[in-house]
């Protein structure tokens, strides 16, 4: 959410930012914000003036009564009553204006960083760098679900019966590999100085609207019927929500967490849910990074966060590349974002396995996360990034470590988490 002062003083900057994000339909919202803000300030000013008049009149009543001028006092009482009614009406107007103002403000996109490349959608994202040599073996790589089925590692048919499309049973060594990757990711981040955390898997609506846009909420979140609770789509939601309505001590910043959670997503949209496979599913598990820091430190943390994901995949010898999201591909709350993509030998292309985002003070403004510093209070900056998110990550892992006989090699870094195994073979 933007600072109302920014919109008052530089509405054209806000409109130009909207144009950069190719959201011209929102330009009228800026004018509506200015109109509502003016109405609110006028009503507040008038109400303050009336309160002052009411206080003076109330003092007059006491004087009149003390002088025995009861009739005169009654006349002033009636006048005070009319003033009180007018104040009540103005306060009601203030409340209505403030509600509509906040609703519109939540729809306005954050101001993107000047370094963000301009573009309409993800087709115009810009490659930043690559690590590792993409390889395609001289044998045919089966679809990832077939690799898992060959190793007795997945049961999609039973999951479809119990839960529908977008769910799965992982079995045997594939299930163990899934857990091993998460455990390794946890320890990898702890070794880099992050505090490990397991957060709540459900959050209230005020936290949901604090961490994401309405469009994302509608397309992602599962609502618990009869409760003011939503299943989280990522642990970032509850981890940032942890600081709601807080005043943080500047000397204790930054807060750097690595959190584990299951994630639940409706996945509404054109891409849909796969019937055979685990690329896009309704539930998965993830190891995440979350940082709450000073504004002047957020870009440095942004670099550290995406580099952590790149380094993690490099320890597993999986080729990756980093893409910078263009202006039209940025979610509304984001200032800057990188996607980390891993190489798929079967598809002969990269696909997304992680997303690193700097949200500036957008979430902090929505949730009331302030910092008490030497020069007064200010809003914190928040960032998040994926360390790893199986089972999607299992796809590139299996494809990059598959042998022609159907067995799968286990990289040295994962062997301690797999009971010392160096290979998965059909049981």
> What phi and psi values does residue 252 have, to the nearest 5 degrees?
-95, -5
Walk across the sheet containing 202-203 and list its strands: 202-203, 230-231, 222-223
The answer to whether the CB of 297 falls within 8 A of the CB of 235 is: no
The pLDDT, as a whole number, for residue 74 is: 81
Reference 119, options 324, 392, 298; nearest CA is 324
224: left (phi over 0), alpha (psi -120 to 50) or beta: beta
Q: Is 200 exposed, middle or buried (0-12, 13-18, 19+ CB in 10 A)?
A: middle
Q: Average pLDDT, stretch 340-365? A: 95
The pLDDT, as a whole number, for residue 48 is: 86
* pLDDT over 70 at 279, yes or no: yes
Percent of the chain residues past pLDDT 90, beyond the cut: 78
User: For residue 268, what pLDDT band results from cuts at 50, 70 and 90?
Assistant: low
**What span, in angstroms and rounded, lies between the C-alpha atoms of 77 and 69?**
12
> What Rg, from alpha-carbon coordinates, does the chain have?
28
Strand partners, 285: 262
Percent of the chain residues past pLDDT 70, beyond the cut: 98
Q: Average pLDDT, stretch 309-320? A: 96
Quick check: helix, strand or coil at residue 359? Answer: coil
pLDDT, tens only, 160-181: 999 999 999 999 999 999 999 9
* pLDDT over 80 at 273, yes or no: no
DSSP state of 255: E
The pLDDT, as a whole number, for residue 187 is: 98
The ranges of the chain annotated as CATH 1.10.287.40 are: 4-105
Quick check: helix, strand or coil at residue 302? Answer: helix
Q: Which residues contact 37 (CB under 8 A, 6 or more apart)?
A: 4, 7, 8, 101
Beta strands 381-388 and 283-293 are antiparallel
* pLDDT over 60 at 22, yes or no: yes
pLDDT, tens only, 205-241: 999 999 987 677 777 899 999 999 999 999 999 999 9
| CA-to-CA dists, residue 129 to 40, 296, 423, angstroms | 49, 25, 31
User: For residue 152, what pLDDT band results from cuts at 50, 70 and 90?
Assistant: very high
Quick check: helix, strand or coil at residue 217? Answer: helix
* pLDDT over 60 at 270, yes or no: no
> What phi and psi values does residue 187 have, to the nearest 5 degrees?
-70, -35
pLDDT, tens only, 324-346: 999 999 999 999 999 999 999 99
pTM of the model: 0.89
- Please report the beta strands in 69-132, taking only residues with DSSP state E, as ranges in sequence order: 126-131
The ranges of the chain annotated as CATH 3.30.930.10 are: 122-424
The pLDDT, as a whole number, for residue 303 is: 97
Reference 288, options 199, 382, 385; nearest CA is 385
> What phi and psi values does residue 331 have, to the nearest 5 degrees?
-65, 155
User: For residue 52, what pLDDT band results from cuts at 50, 70 and 90?
Assistant: confident
User: For residue 97, what pLDDT band results from cuts at 50, 70 and 90?
Assistant: confident
Average pLDDT value for the chain: 93
Could you please state the CATH topology (level 3) that the domain comprising 4-105 is classified under: Helix Hairpins (1.10.287)
How crowded is residue 262: how many other Cβ atoms within 10 Å of its Cβ?
Answer: 12
The pLDDT, as a whole number, for residue 258 is: 98
Architecture of the CATH domain 122-424: 2-Layer Sandwich (3.30)
Of 177-186, 209-218, 357-366, the poorest mean pLDDT is in: 209-218
The pLDDT, as a whole number, for residue 88 is: 86
- Judge if the upstream peptide bond of residue 254 is cis by omega within 30 degrees of 0: yes
Reference 203, options 239, 248, 255, 246; nearest CA is 239
CA contacts within 13 A on the Cβ side of 156: 16
> What phi and psi values does residue 196 have, to the nearest 5 degrees?
-75, 140
């Amino acid at each position: 959410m933007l600072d109302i002062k920014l919109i008052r003083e530089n509405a054209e900057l806000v409109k130009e930012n909207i144009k950069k994000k190719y959201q011209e339909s929102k330009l009228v919202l800026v004018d509506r914000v200015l109109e509502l803000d003016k109405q609110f300030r006028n009503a507040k000013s008038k109400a303050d003036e009336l309160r002052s008049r009411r206080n003076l009149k109330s003092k007059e009543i006491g004087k009149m009564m003390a002088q025995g001028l009861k009739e005169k006092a009654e006349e002033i009482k009636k006048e005070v009553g009319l003033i009180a009614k007018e104040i009540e009406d103005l306060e009601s107007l203030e409340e209505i204006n403030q509600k509509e103002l906040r609703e519109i403000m939540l729809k306005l996109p954050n101001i993107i960083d000047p370094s963000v490349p301009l573009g309409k959608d993800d087709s115009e994202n810009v490659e930043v760098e690559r690590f590792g040599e993409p390889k395609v073996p001289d044998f045919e790589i089966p679809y990832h679900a077939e690799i898992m089925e060959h190793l007795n590692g997945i049961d999609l048919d039973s999951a479809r019966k119990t839960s529908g499309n977008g769910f799965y049973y992982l079995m045997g060594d594939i299930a163990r590999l899934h857990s091993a990757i998460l455990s390794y990711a946890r320890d990898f981040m702890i070794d880099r100085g992050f505090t490990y955390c397991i957060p709540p898997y459900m959050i209230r609506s005020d936290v949901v609207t604090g961490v994401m846009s309405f469009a994302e909420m509608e397309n992602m979140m599962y609502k618990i019927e009869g409760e003011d609770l939503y299943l989280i789509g990522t642990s970032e939601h509850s981890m940032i929500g942890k600081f709601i309505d807080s005043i943080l001590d500047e000397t204790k910043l930054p807060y750097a967490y690595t959190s584990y959670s299951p994630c639940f997503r409706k996945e509404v949209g054109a891409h849909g849910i796969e019937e055979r496979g685990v690329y896009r599913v309704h539930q998965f598990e993830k190891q995440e990074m979350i940082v709450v820091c000073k504004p002047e430190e957020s870009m440095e943390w942004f670099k550290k966060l995406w580099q952590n994901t790149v380094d993690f995949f490099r320890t597993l010898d999986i080729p990756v590349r980093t893409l910078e999201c263009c202006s039209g591909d940025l979610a509304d709350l984001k200032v800057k974002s990188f996607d980390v993509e891993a190489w798929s030998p079967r598809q002969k292309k990269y696909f997304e396995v992680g997303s690193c985002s700097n949200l500036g003070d957008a979430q902090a403004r929505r949730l009331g996360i302030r910092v008490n510093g030497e020069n007064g209070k200010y809003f914190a900056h928040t960032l998040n990034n994926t360390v790893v998110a199986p089972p999607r990550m299992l796809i590139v892992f299996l494809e990059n470590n598959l042998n022609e006989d159907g067995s799968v090699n286990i990289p040295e870094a994962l062997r301690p988490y797999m009971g010392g195994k160096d290979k998965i073979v059909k049981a």
